[in-house]
Structure 1
């Protein structure tokens, strides 16, 4: 594909259309033999100034990109995008397809920049969540009391859908402002709260601004691992809060990394791995269909609907999965071949963490520790409980944890 086209001009355009474009952006559009874009963007160009052939993106868009570029080999191609093409826009797909060095990107102010300008919000202090072709549930992970969130809308019903989600999840007091047609002559602002949002539909071209307010009594979910156990739907198969926090610390997630959560249970380790950064990925492997369905529900409720759930027994269910950066084993340690399969799948530098409460699995971890090194610890948590008219300690079952980095000096 890299030899198919010399340069693709990628031009951002706003609701103000041709009048809002600088000459540096107009020039490649005038010279283009082919202009590719969404129908709304193409309609903003004057025919006299931009005589090139116009092609609307097909749906789905991404699979069509290589074929479209190849079909117009040797012609001057311009691609129209809404706002800044490099911000949740087409420039990323084009760079991955044609190569970043073959793009000439002409950015326009993004809808997020316009929204912050209108609201007086500092751009660097605002969380941005895109709901364009993404699950609505992904918004939940960005909700924190007092935070400001900008939502890139998918269409005219996005505000109503967001308001319903906020009401249902304990954020009904959140202020919602819908900024329509930003930068254009039809710009308009709608204002209200999630609890009484009155607009079933808005203009399709909009951005939502949220001032997050948690309802009294709603469960508080922090940004660090170790969410309250009450945040999860479970049947008892749940890595408890304080052990979970220690486990995530040992796993040490980093942006873009992939975790295998083997013996997923309620999905808590994979979910909180993904909540540490929006680019973290996880696969939960769970043999019970009922628990697998529960993991999916928990992931959606806690804002990481992209968690992949594989229903099947490990190690067989691990076959064909993309190579992990880290593996957590929360159950099934004594299944023949499980530890070997997880270890073999890890690249050099990958981490493995395994927890157990049984003597049999502890003995297995001790043997692997003797062979590969790492760190073998025991976690014991006690909680204060009533003892008659007094208070005493009740200890949970101690958890033995082995953590190791493959290829380290002691592994």
Structure 2
């Protein structure tokens, strides 16, 4: 029999307890949380959290190493069989260590979690904001550019800060995105004796760094003349940096409709161009992921810039030729092919990579690629459509229509029963 993984305590071992603690420290804890910490043989947490405990908590104090997550299994194994209490800021299950421990320990030995009010709950109470109407984002271990998908005029955001420098970074990003008039309030040491609030606008933010334990509240206000980006696919073409290799707005909206992104799904975007399909796939939900493949290094770099500007810095850009570079990529839920359709083996490789129920969408404007799609449509079914868009343009003193090149689109869903279409 294989030995149990190091993160799994032996049968009968006392469960790991996770105790949320706030800036008010020991005084703010409920009796149940105090009793767990007094009884623990091992106390694990950040140095700041451990310093909040009184001498009566006599367990061995173990600060978290860095990086944290890879060290957790070994740390728990080293103290297996002992009563272990892990300290967390606020609610351990809200962007906290509680999730990590739950995933590592599994259903057989789930941790006992004793939450404390989170910084978000404190902030909403101080601001008078309904929690259910407030969007919460984090820049802890993540780029500030990830805020971009939440910037809409009139929205309220709470940003979980990575440290004392974060408010200035958020203000700079808001200015860059055309949201300089946004009101910012920085709430420090929430719930503690040193609680403070600083406020201003992103345009005028010049405050020195304050306490590293802070949350940033943003009332989003778009500057006059700043681009307005909607919440659905089909952003203005002007939102992208491109060299002409761009799936145009109306075709892009139809393509995302056929791809049908859902939360947590992964897209392969083959022939990324400017990255517009992958970017707007990821903008539909913060849990959506995408890998875009582009053979031209200049275009690949441009895709990364577009992803940062439009709020999806986690977009993975792979530079190289498909299908060769597709080997080893994580299994996609959907594949979009916007270029290189006639490359030998490309369609076959993408089709094989898709699981049952996965979607494939391919666009083309050439007769050669259209013939290829017609053949795959004949063999596998799905839907074959031609998308035509015309724009009104001046014709002398009048107005007429200018037809864009029509786009042939094939979309198909792999059947769960046969691996064929449905």
Q: What range is the shorter-chain TM-score in?
A: over 0.9
Secondary structure at the counterpart of residue 273 of structure 2: coil
CA distance in 2, matches of 1:270, 1:190: 38
* 1:317 alignment partner in structure 2: 325
Which of 226, 238, 241 aligns to 2:246? It is 238
* 1:23 alignment partner in structure 2: 31
* 2:306 alignment partner in structure 1: 298
* 2:180 alignment partner in structure 1: 172
Judge conservation of contact 1:6–1:102 (CA < 8 Å) in 2.
no
CA distance in 2, matches of 1:8, 1:390: 76
CA distance in 1, matches of 2:261, 2:14: 39
CA distance in 2, matches of 1:148, 1:210: 6
CA distance in 1, matches of 2:421, 2:262: 22
- Which 4+ residue blocks in structure 1 deviate beyond 3 angstroms? 3-6, 408-411
Secondary structure at the counterpart of residue 140 of structure 1: helix
* 1:89 alignment partner in structure 2: 96
Superposition map of 1:271-282 within 5 A: 271-282=279-290
Secondary structure at the counterpart of residue 195 of structure 1: coil
Secondary structure at the counterpart of residue 118 of structure 1: helix
**Aligned residue pairs, count:** 410
Secondary structure at the counterpart of residue 378 of structure 1: strand
Which of 383, 388, 391 aligns to 1:383? It is 391
Superposition map of 1:35-46 within 5 A: 35-46=43-54
CA deviations on 1:19-42 (whole Å, 9 max, x unpaired) are 000011111111111010011111
* 1:255 alignment partner in structure 2: 263
CA distance in 2, matches of 1:351, 1:73: 46
TM-score, scaled to structure 2: 0.96
Residue 14, structure 1, aligned to residue 22, structure 2: yes
Gaps of 5+ in 2: 1-6
TM-score, scaled to structure 1: 0.98
Superposition map of 1:10-409 within 5 A: 10-48=18-56, 50-100=57-107, 101-407=109-415
CA distance in 2, matches of 1:84, 1:224: 32
CA distance in 1, matches of 2:227, 2:377: 39
Judge conservation of contact 1:132–1:153 (CA < 8 Å) in 2.
yes
CA distance in 2, matches of 1:200, 1:405: 54
CA deviations on 1:323-344 (whole Å, 9 max, x unpaired) are 1000000000000000000000
Secondary structure at the counterpart of residue 32 of structure 2: helix
Secondary structure at the counterpart of residue 290 of structure 2: strand
CA 345–6 in structure 1, closer or farther in 2 if over 3 Å, else same = farther
Per the TM alignment, residue 167 of structure 1 is displaced from its structure 2 partner at its CA by 1.2
Secondary structure at the counterpart of residue 203 of structure 2: helix
